[in-house]
Structure 1
C-alpha cells in the first residue's frame, strides 16, 4: 500500500485558501494505486495535473512512478496552491513543477500529444453559473469546487483540450459526480476525440456519488 503524501507542512491558514484533500482526492489516489502497474508499464515521461491544490495527488503519483522518472507539471489558478504544491513536492522528495495558470492554457501547444499521464479533479459541484464564474476569477478556495449549473463549466473547457494533449500511450484520469452525466462525458470523448473510457473506481461519500474515469486512445 502506497502511503498518502505527507502534508504536515501545510497549515490551517493554507487550507483557508487552498483545497484540503477530501474524499474526492482520496478516490483519485485509490484509482491511481489500483492502476499503478499499468502506469509504470507505459514509462511516462511527462505528467500533468490540472488544479493541483495542495499537491497531494501529484506527490502520490511521484511515489508510484519514482521521483526522478518523469517530469511532473502542475497547474492551478490559485497562486497559493502553486506554492503549496511546490512545498508538498519538497516534503515528499518529488520534484513538482507548479505553474500559476488556468487549466492547461500556456502548455497546450508546447505539450501537444506529449502528456503521458493527465490528472484532473475539477470543480464539479453544481452551482449557479455566476458563482462558478466569480469563483474562477477570484482564484481562491471556491474555484476548486464551484462548477456551474451542471458542474461541468470548467471541465468542459479541459475536455476540449485533452485530445491535443494526450500522447499515443496517454492516460487521462477525471474525477466526476453522478450529476455531471457520466455517460454523456464518455460519449462525447469517444465521438469527438476518439478516446476510449472506463470507470476505474466509484464510491459514495455522503450525498456525493464519486467516479474516476480513465480515458485512453
Structure 2
C-alpha cells in the first residue's frame, strides 16, 4: 500500500482557503494506486494536475512514478493552493511545480500532446452558473467545489482541451459524481475524439456517488 502524502505541514488556516483532501481526493488516490504498475511501466515524462489544491494527488503520483522520473506540473487559479502544493511537494520530497493559472493556462501550447498523466478533481457540485463563475473569479476555496449547471461548467472547458494535451500514450484521470452524467462524459469523449473511456473506480461517500473516469487514446 502506497502511503498517503504527509500533509502535517498544512494548518487549519490553510484549509480555510484551500480544499482539504476528502473522499473525492482519496478515491482518486485509490484509482492511481490501482494503476500504479502500469503508470510505472509508462515512465511518464510529464504529469499535469489541474487544480491541485493541497498538492496531495500530485505528490502521490510522484511517489508512484519516482521523484526524479517526471516533470510534475500543476495549475491552480488559487495562489494559496499553489503555495500549499509547493510546500507539500517539499514535505514529501517530490519536486512539484505549481503555476497560478486557470486550467492549463499558459502551458497549453507548450504541452501540446505531451502530457502523459493528466489529473483533475474538478469543482463538480451542481450550482447556479453565476455562483460557479463568481467562485472562479474569486480564486478561493469556493472555486474548488462550485461547478455550475450539472456541476460541469469548468469540467466542460477542460474536456475540450484534453485532445490537445494528452500524449499518444497519455491518460486522463477525472473525478466525477453521478449528477455530472458520467455515461454522457464517456460518450462525448469517445464520439468526438475517439478516446477510450472507462470508469475505473466508484463508491458512495455520504450523499455523493463518486467515480473516477480514465480517458486515454
List structure 1 segments (4+ residues) > 2 angstroms apart after TM superposition: none
Cα distance in 2 for residues equivalent to 1:67 and 1:200: 25
- Kindly report which structure 2 residues correspond to 1:13-92, keeping only aligned pairs within 5 A, or say none: 13-92=13-92
**Which TM-score applies when normalising by structure 1?**
0.99
Cα distance in 2 for residues equivalent to 1:83 and 1:193: 35
Write out per-residue CA displacement over residues 41-92 of structure 1, whole angstroms, 9 at most, x where no aligned residue. 1110000000000000000000001100000001100000000000000000
SS in 1 for 2:106: coil
Q: What is the Cα-based RMSD across aligned positions, in Å?
A: 0.5
Equivalent in the alignment of 1:166: 166
Cα distance in 1 for residues equivalent to 2:23 and 2:120: 14
Equivalent in the alignment of 1:155: 155
**Which TM-score applies when normalising by structure 2?**
0.99
Equivalent in the alignment of 2:126: 126
- Note the residue ranges of structure 1 that are not aligned, 5 or more in a row: none
Cα distance in 2 for residues equivalent to 1:70 and 1:39: 11
Cα distance in 2 for residues equivalent to 1:30 and 1:119: 13
Cα distance, 1:149 vs structure 2: 1.6
Cα distance in 2 for residues equivalent to 1:62 and 1:16: 26
Cα distance in 2 for residues equivalent to 1:106 and 1:124: 24
SS in 1 for 2:24: helix
Number of aligned pairs? 217
Cα distance in 2 for residues equivalent to 1:42 and 1:8: 31
Q: State yes or no: 1:200 paired with 2:200.
A: yes
